[in-house]
Amino acid sequence: MTKIDPDITIPDPIDLDRAEEERLRAAAGLTPVRTPGGEYAGFEQVGIPDRPPQTEREREIYTLDEGEMLVNMGPQHPSTHGVMRLVVKVRGEIIVDIDPVLGYLHRGIEKLCENATYTTVLTYVDPMDYLSTMHNEHAPAIAFEKLYGVKAPPRAEYIRALVVELNRIFSHGLMMGFLALDMGGLTPILYAFINRDEIVDMLSSISGQRMLFNFFRVGGVNFDTNDEFLSRLGTWRGRVLKNIEMNERMITDNEIFRARTINMGTLTGQQAIGLGVTGPNLRASGVPFDVRKAKPYSIYNELEFDVITQQGGDSYSRYLQRIAEIKQSIHLIDQIIDKMPHGPVQAQVPGIIRPRPGRAYGAVESPRGLYSVYAISDGGPNPYRFRMRDPSFISLQALPKLMPGRLVADTMAVMASLDPVMGGVDK
Amino acid sequence: MLAERLGDDLRDLWTDEDTVEYQVDGARAHDVLATLRDDEDLAYFMLADAAAVDYGPGAHFEVVYHLFSWKHPGWLRIRARVDRDDPRIASITDLWEGAMFHEREMYDMMGIVFEGNRDLRRIYMSPDYRSFPQRRDFVLPDDAADSPAAGVNPLERPETWDLTRFRDAPGVTFPPSSERADAPGEAVEAGETMASKSRPR
């Protein structure tokens, strides 16, 4: 750091425009303001013990130019969708850089699963991405069935597809509500929760639990459909389109909503692929990648549907993509109910299974993107290695790329449009 | 097709119903992945997953990449072998920017150093944590007396603290221990637990 001559007084740089400031500094014989590796003073500002930076990137974000400061957003911020901290470098109200700090919800689920039997693993993965619990169970079930060499009966596959699509609908519906909530609109989230509760009650009548369903088993599902489930499904199906359209009418053409989402947080398709963004966020950027179509699992190659894409890549496109996918899921549910065969819902599988040594990869399209499981068996009752790729964890990397140059208030709006769930991010 | 382009590098073909698997050397992994991504006939444009597997003390690590391409029917799995005593492999963040969080997680959980990654720091555990909790020799606490984990303090494994041998890795700037203001590895005295040492003061 350059020693400043005490005899020369420089006016407060924030009050001057940049050119004037540079001129004054040059006249005073000082270095320009934007020297790489300026004063390294970050850690104390965000309330963590001072220590040297460990990496180049850490040095970069915790090094401040004049006029910049670091602000903690979170970990208990009301709109971080869980417990996450964003270290935000701001110049006035403009964001310069963002560093997400994760791990507040880390439970070590992968390690726990290595010490659990294959059936128990399906209960451990439930609380990961707690808005798409059915998908969390689907991918391990696929991987374990490959490992064990068993196939679920057709009716089980249809019930799986049914509950998974129901789960997708309420997850996307909640995203619409949270997106509006993070911009200050309280009403849509209430309607979103009403719609969610209908589906959650329906799923609890088939699985017995309300949030962490624990419904999938290796080689099938836990229960067959029952009368209560089917009656709730029929009632819900009768009015769901009206409910969705009401929610949509409330948000889609809202002037404030449009002003704060159109051209905000734009991801190009190329960028999104490079960053590992998948799911609706990727399709909103125009890339037609959907695991249900690209690598069909379960019964998706028997159903008729197209991959929906949007061209914008901004927050508004991501919102429209969710609405389109809700309607597509309803269409899929109609087909599933039409085609559902009779038969058993579970293959004959013992409680503790010991697959032959081998490896298996199971991937599903969760509401947040490509959710995959890589399981290794060594012949014992526990998986030797159990790896989960959570889509919201990877998609979160897009946030620091999207925000520089935007206002602080837009961070949460863009983050809600990416729809991360911290239970999945932190595993 | 794969064997034509990358004949010498790919070993041990193994397939199941929707996956094609090859093994490569850790030193060649970056080049193989670059070819797979950039070759027009292969066009594995998407990195679906990158994970590390520990085969236990005395064996080796493995970094497992899953790739996706429109032109091929299955997932492609590339298993790259990494030495367990000196776990280094080239970073692929120059090919896919999104590999950053994957590699940070692998470093955090397994202690694999990705050379060329400019942000290789802990992602889940706190910065002053020194163990690698997903290694096979990091056992979870267990009450059973005959368990290998009996009497283990689950929070830290001191023998994995020493990271100074990675000081010269490009992109990884570990501060010298004398500069470390809050370095628990060196400063722990007898009787003092890690938990009391790493609490912010």
Mutate to test the interface with A, among B119, B143, B172, B198 (most CBs of A within 10 A): B119
Tell which CATH classification among 3.90.480.20, 3.40.190.10, 3.30.460.80, 3.30.1340.30 matches the domain B2-198.
3.30.460.80
The residues, any chain, with a CB within 8 Å of residue A138's CB and separated by 6 or more, are: A160, A164, A216, A298, A362, A364
B-chain residue closest to A399, CA distance: B98
How far away is chain A from the Cα of B161, in angstroms, using its nearest Cα? Answer: 15
Residues of A in contact with B174 (CB under 8 A): 54
User: Where are the CATH 1.10.645.10 domain residues in chain A?
Assistant: 109-426
Residues of B in contact with A426 (CB under 8 A): 124
**Measured between alpha carbons, how far apart are the two ends of chain B, in Å?**
59
How far away is chain B from the Cα of A102, in angstroms, using its nearest Cα? Answer: 6
pLDDT in tens, A182-230: 888 888 888 888 888 989 999 999 988 888 888 998 988 988 888 999 9
pLDDT reported for residue A211: 85
Residues of B in contact with A376 (CB under 8 A): 53
The one-letter code for the residue type at A352 is I
- Verify whether the Cβ–Cβ distance B181 to A273 is below 8 Å: no
pLDDT reported for residue A178: 87
pLDDT in tens, A57-81: 877 788 777 778 888 887 877 666 7
Residues of B in contact with A112 (CB under 8 A): 140
Q: How far apart are CA A260 and CA A409, in angstroms?
A: 10
Q: How far apart are CA A22 and CA A38, in angstroms?
A: 15
B-chain residue closest to A389, CA distance: B49
How far away is chain B from the Cα of A342, in angstroms, using its nearest Cα? Answer: 26
**pLDDT over 70, % of chain A:** 87
The pLDDT confidence band at residue B188, using thresholds 50, 70 and 90, is very low
Residues of B in contact with A103 (CB under 8 A): 122-126
pLDDT reported for residue A231: 92
Residues of B in contact with A142 (CB under 8 A): none
- Token reading at A275: 């960053």
Mutate to test the interface with A, among B46, B91, B103, B172 (most CBs of A within 10 A): B46
Query: Is the four-CA dihedral A345, A347, A348, A352 of positive or negative sign?
Result: negative
| Mean pLDDT across A111-139 | 88
Q: Which 3 state secondary structure label does DSSP give A124?
A: helix
Nearest to B49 among A277, A389, A396 (CB): A389
Tell which CATH classification among 3.40.190.10, 3.40.50.300, 1.10.645.10, 2.40.240.10 matches the domain A109-426.
1.10.645.10
Residue ranges covered by each domain of chain B: 2-198
Stated pTM of the model = 0.79
Higher pLDDT, A15 or A242: A242
The answer to whether residues A362 and A139 touch, using CB atoms and an 8 Å cutoff, is yes
DSSP chain B: -HHHHTTTT-EEEEEETTEEEEEEEGGGHHHHHHHHHH-TTT---EEEEEEEEE--TTSEEEEEEEEE-TTSSSEEEEEEEEESSS-EEE--TTT-TTHHHHHHHHHHHH--EEET-TT---SSS-TT----TTSTTSPPP---TTSTTTT--SS--GGG---GGGTTSTTB-PPPTTT-TT-HHHHPPTT--HHHHHS--
